[in-house]
């Protein structure tokens, strides 16, 4: 039962297992590959099944006497070649395609002379494709016999020597592929100075060598990789602090009843914060006993709370600061490399780290900077597949140990496919760091209500996001220039 619809056959490709068993390769399936078949057979003769497949597919099938047995199967709307493969696997059979020249086909013994055989093959004008079915053992013996026949014929043909220039590739790598084509009598050598390949082989093998060199020795596309690394930061800092103090004088003028020469004053003072204003009214320099100003304060308020009998003076200053800001750091490394070749670019510094061991002090070098490693591969339709590794290391001197800073590391490793000259975003790395600090006077800061007058609070909120943009651009050579050269 044949399905008349011409559905697209997605089962074109033949796996390695089929090829090893001697069944079809991809070329055999090009014959009427879009025809489908439905089979529901119980204990049917395998010869009749092959005849049925032959009728549906419109192909010629010849089965040897060794093909026999029965088979049961149920298939619905499958390509005919898949149905044939199922039958071959079940019965342990194989298939090869033979070509017969209709105009010159004769009966008798095939010519054993190589030159006569080549001439006969050259006279072929039109061939008929025939699929021949046999046991795997017989097909393997036949293939081995063909190899022996070719070896025997090659022994009677003189070898020739040709030199091939390698213009774009590596001659050593290309020579490894050619060694498999020249047989036992052939040889392949490389002249490193001129980048030439010297091949000695029979004429038929030289034809294959020329074809392989023509296909492999081609210009390689250049790929320019442009990367933009954008790091956006948003910081917020808030600080609130207090300073207070005073001055007390003990002298006859301020009520010292004894009249003894006691020191004129007892002062509890603190340092003057730089850049803070206003100063206290009536004082040239604040005398703070509690000196906890806001860090980086942008404003402050000073008060003189009062005096008692002109002997005691109390001063107070409140300071507060709040800062916020955004920043963008853009790194734009660019690099150009050959298709399917890894490229690396590094921009940074080398840190020398001293380590002490039993043998003494040794200097170790640590890299810190921006590194881009990329390996592009140009596919069909100008699609570019890239293996990308981006590493950004920064020294953090705020967390240094024995003078050696720690290293802040950011790394992205991925594989992406991008159309030519288009941009892909690999993804963002978001980081948020919140810090809260408290500075206080021991004991007094724990007193309820008034404890706030003996402490300072700081709060920092840092946010950062890193985005990576990558744009590949193909730099192709004009084929007319290459052809002219």
Pair 242, 319: CB distance under 8 Å: yes
Q: pLDDT above 90 covers what percent of the chain? A: 4
CB burial of 75-99 (b: ≥16 within 10 Å; e: otherwise) equals beebbbbebbbbbbeebebbbbeee
20 and 96 inside one domain:
yes
Alpha-carbon span 138 to 136, nearest angstrom:
6
Residues 389-395, mean pLDDT to the nearest whole number = 82
SS3 string of 128-176? Answer: EEEEEEEEHHHHHHHHHHHHHHHHHHHHCCCCEEEEEECCCCCHHHHHH
Alpha-carbon span 243 to 286, nearest angstrom:
9
pLDDT in tens, 128-166: 568 889 888 888 888 888 777 777 666 667 888 999 998
288 and 390 inside one domain:
no
118 and 168 inside one domain:
no
Q: Which of the pair, 232 or 325, is modelled with greater confidence?
A: 232
Pair 470, 376: CB distance under 8 Å: no
Q: At what angle do helices 80-91 and 46-57 cross, to 10 degrees?
A: 160
Closest CA relative to residue 232, chosen from 324, 369, 325, 326: 326
Residue 396 binned pLDDT confidence (cut-offs 50, 70, 90) = confident
126 and 41 inside one domain:
yes
Alpha-carbon span 65 to 237, nearest angstrom:
93
Alpha-carbon span 242 to 456, nearest angstrom:
7
Q: Quote the DSSP letter at residue 473.
A: E
Q: Quote the DSSP letter at residue 220.
A: P
pLDDT in tens, 317-329: 777 776 777 767 6
270 and 414 inside one domain:
no
The strand pairing partners of 223, in sequence order, are: 337, 474
Q: Max alpha carbon distance in the chain (Å)?
A: 151
Alpha-carbon span 122 to 456, nearest angstrom:
100
Q: Is 306 left (phi over 0), alpha (psi -120 to 50) or beta?
A: left
Q: Looking at residue 183, which CATH number applies to its domain?
A: 3.30.1370.120
pLDDT at 249: 58
pLDDT in tens, 466-482: 788 889 999 876 555 44
Residues 416-421, mean pLDDT to the nearest whole number = 89
- Give the range of the structural domain holding residue 45, as residue numbers without chain letter: 1-156
347 and 452 inside one domain:
yes
Q: Which of the pair, 239 or 237, is modelled with greater confidence?
A: 239
Q: Quote the DSSP letter at residue 91.
A: H
Where a domain ends, among 302, 321, 340? 321
339 and 425 inside one domain:
yes
265 and 305 inside one domain:
yes
Residue 221 falls within a domain, yes or no? no
- H and E: helices and strands count for the chain: 8, 21
146 and 265 inside one domain:
no
Give the number of domains in the chain: 4
pLDDT at 45: 92
Q: Please check the confidence at residue 27 and state whether its pLDDT lies above 70.
A: no
pLDDT at 297: 59
Residue 236 falls within a domain, yes or no? no
Q: What is the rounded average pLDDT for all residues in the chain?
A: 73
Q: Is the model's pTM score more than 0.75?
A: no
Q: Which of the pair, 279 or 76, is modelled with greater confidence?
A: 76
Where a domain ends, among 126, 156, 186? 156
pLDDT at 279: 45
**Sheet of 70-79, strands arranged across:** 2-3, 36-45, 70-79
312 and 264 inside one domain:
yes
Quick one: 159 exposed, middle or buried, by C-beta within 10 A (0-12, 13-18, 19+)? middle
pLDDT in tens, 93-115: 988 887 555 444 443 444 445 45
Please report, to the nearest 10 degrees, the dihedral formed by the alpha carbons of residues 411, 414, 420, 421 taken in order: -20
28 and 120 inside one domain:
yes
Closest CA relative to residue 185, chosen from 151, 208, 142: 151
Q: Please check the confidence at residue 483 and state whether its pLDDT lies above 70.
A: no
């Amino acid at each position: 039962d044949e399905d008349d619809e011409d559905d697209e056959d997605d089962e074109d490709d033949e796996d390695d297992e089929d090829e090893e068993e001697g069944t079809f390769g991809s070329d055999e399936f090009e014959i009427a590959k879009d025809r489908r078949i439905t089979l529901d057979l119980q204990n049917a003769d395998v010869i009749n099944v092959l005849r049925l497949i032959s009728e549906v597919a419109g192909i010629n099938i010849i089965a040897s006497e060794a093909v026999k047995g029965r088979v049961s199967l149920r298939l619905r709307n499958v390509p005919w070649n898949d149905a044939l493969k199922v039958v071959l696997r079940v019965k342990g059979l194989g298939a090869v395609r033979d070509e017969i020249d209709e105009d010159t086909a004769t009966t008798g013994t095939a010519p054993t002379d190589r030159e006569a055989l080549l001439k006969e093959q050259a006279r072929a004008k039109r061939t008929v494709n025939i699929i021949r079915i046999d046991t795997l053992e017989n097909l393997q013996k036949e293939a081995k016999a063909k190899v022996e026949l070719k070896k025997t014929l090659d022994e009677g043909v003189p070898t020739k020597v040709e030199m091939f220039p390698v213009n774009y590739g590596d001659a050593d790598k290309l020579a490894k592929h050619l060694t498999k084509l020249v047989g036992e009598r052939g040889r392949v050598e490389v002249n490193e100075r001129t980048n030439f390949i010297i091949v000695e082989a029979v004429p038929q093998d030289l034809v294959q060598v020329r074809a392989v060199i023509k296909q492999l020795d081609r210009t390689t596309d250049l790929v320019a990789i442009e990367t933009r690394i954008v790091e956006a930061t948003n910081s917020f800092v808030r600080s609130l602090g207090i300073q207070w103090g005073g001055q007390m004088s003990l002298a006859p003028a301020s009520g010292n009843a004894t009249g003894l020469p006691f020191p004129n004053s007892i002062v509890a003072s603190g340092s003057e914060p730089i850049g803070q204003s206003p100063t206290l009214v009536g004082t040239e320099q604040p005398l703070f006993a509690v000196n906890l100003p806001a860090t980086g304060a942008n404003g402050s308020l000073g008060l003189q709370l009062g005096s008692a009998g002109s002997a005691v003076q109390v001063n107070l200053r409140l300071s507060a600061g709040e800062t916020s800001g955004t920043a963008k750091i853009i790194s734009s490394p660019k690099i150009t490399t050959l298709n399917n070749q890894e490229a690396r670019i590094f921009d940074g510094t080398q840190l020398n780290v001293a380590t002490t061991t039993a043998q003494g002090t040794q200097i170790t070098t640590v890299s810190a900077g921006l590194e881009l490693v990329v390996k592009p591969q140009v596919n069909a339709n100008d699609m570019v597949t890239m293996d990308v590794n981006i590493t950004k290391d920064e020294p953090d001197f705020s967390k240094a140990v024995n003078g050696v800073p720690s290293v802040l590391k950011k790394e992205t490793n991925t594989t992406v496919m991008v159309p030519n000259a288009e941009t892909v975003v690999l993804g963002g790395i978001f980081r948020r760091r919140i810090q809260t600090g408290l500075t206080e006077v021991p004991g007094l800061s724990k007193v309820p209500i008034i404890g706030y007058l003996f402490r300072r609070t700081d709060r920092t909120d840092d946010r950062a996001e890193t985005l990576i943009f990558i744009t590949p651009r193909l730099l192709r050579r004009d084929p007319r220039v290459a052809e002219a050269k």
